[in-house]
Amino acid sequence: MSVRKIYLILSLFAFLLLALGCSNTPVESEMAIEEPNMTEEFGGYRATDESPGFGDDALLTAASESEEEYDDPYLANSDLDSILENPNAGHYHLRVIWGRLRFDSTSTTPTDWTGSLSITRGVEILRRVIRFERNQDYIEPRSDRKLIKWVSKTTVHNDGIAVDIFVPPVRPWLDSSRIVETDSLGNDIIVIVVDTTWPTIEPVKVDFKTAPYGRSFELSELTSLDTIVYLDDSTAVSFQAIKLDRFPCPRGFLAGGWGFDGDGRGVFRGVWMDRHGRVDGYLKGHFGVKDNGEKLFFGKWVTSSGRFEGFIRGHWDFLAYTTADAASVRFPLGVFRGNIYTGNRQVIGVLGGNFYASNTLSNVRIGYFQGRWKIYCALEVNSDADEGF
């Protein structure tokens, strides 16, 4: 049996174990009442099913209306099949969001984000547009497989794009020559000599360009990219990316609100997205500081229909973060990192990301978070130390 077949079987076995692990009778009673706290192992959450979106109509609406599928004409270009279907091509998914990361009704001055995303080698496939307003925001007709251009203006919220990037492997140059040699009997023999030369190629660059902000990435940075850049006018640009392997471990993205409720308790709630950025579940939880000073967050993850999938638990902390020109610290920003557990308390994955708890300039109490998640494959060590998830 080949190594590839063994790996595939083990990966399928891992999925089966995950499904069984999440459906096993959990330690807590299914009738237990949730009372979120900072003392229990999983913060008072129970392995119970929920209403879709935890019964939060605003969350359901945002999940269903925020993104629109885009029919990229390059998907139908047969000349690109050799790249799009090449199992050895590098395949990455990139999400870029610009504007107000959380809705801010006080922001009435438009910001023009008209710009482009380009790569130096390969193909860009636009999968979805994010919060594009009809008759205002649009994608310009595509005429270059390495370039996506748009027109976008934001005020109270944000726009963005979700893109797949395919980069074909470098191929060697083959240079053949004919040499005539004489064998031991004096006969002439023509020998074909093939020289293999690997060309020198600059690293692939990914360029995001708008008037308010621009940034260039090398392809290697898209393996595990998760960053937010805040500008002086309180707008921001969010970048998230992952490398999509041919036989991938389950992984994807997270996004939602992170801040404080009416009682001043730290809470978060958001969407759980698959590896292509499509919403296929929800998460909710709370964060705080224990009596010993430990900063923890707790929560649970459910499917789109509300079926329990797992607990989440980990650590968070504030960071000193400056504006784009390093002029001043404006936002109480932070990071979070933790693990994903089955209902029977088994570690099955890792998650983490960035947040800001509030926007002090507009007095919005609920902030924003974004992150990534990953379920371990059968061949991986279950550890939260892997930085490339």
User: Between residues 366 and 339, which one has the greater pLDDT?
Assistant: 339
Average pLDDT in the chain = 81
Measured at the CA of 135, the angle between CA 134 and CA 141, to 5 degrees, comes to: 90
- 67 or 261, greater pLDDT: 67
pLDDT value at position 171? 56
Mean pLDDT of the 237-241 span: 96
pLDDT of residue 344 exceeding 80, the answer is yes
pLDDT interval class at 200 (50, 70, 90): low
**Rounded average pLDDT over 190-219:** 79
pLDDT at 205: 95
Q: For residue 166, report the phi and psi dihedrals to the nearest 5 degrees.
A: -120, 125
Instruction: Give 188 or 256, the one with higher predicted confidence.
Output: 256
pLDDT at 325 > cutoff 60: no
Q: How far apart are CA 153 and CA 138, in angstroms?
A: 10
Nearest 5°: phi and psi at 73? -65, -25
Euclidean distance between CA atoms 250 and 239, whole angstroms? 20
Confidence label for 185 from pLDDT (cuts 50, 70 and 90): low
- pLDDT confidence tier of residue 184, bands split at 50, 70 and 90: low
pLDDT in the model for residue 86: 77
Q: Is the pLDDT of residue 64 over 90?
A: no
137 pLDDT higher than 90: yes
pLDDT band with cut points at 50, 70 and 90 for residue 196: low
Q: By the 8 A CB rule, do 42 and 311 touch?
A: yes
Q: Is the pLDDT of residue 198 over 70?
A: no
Residue 18 has pLDDT above 50, yes or no: no
pTM assigned to the model: 0.79
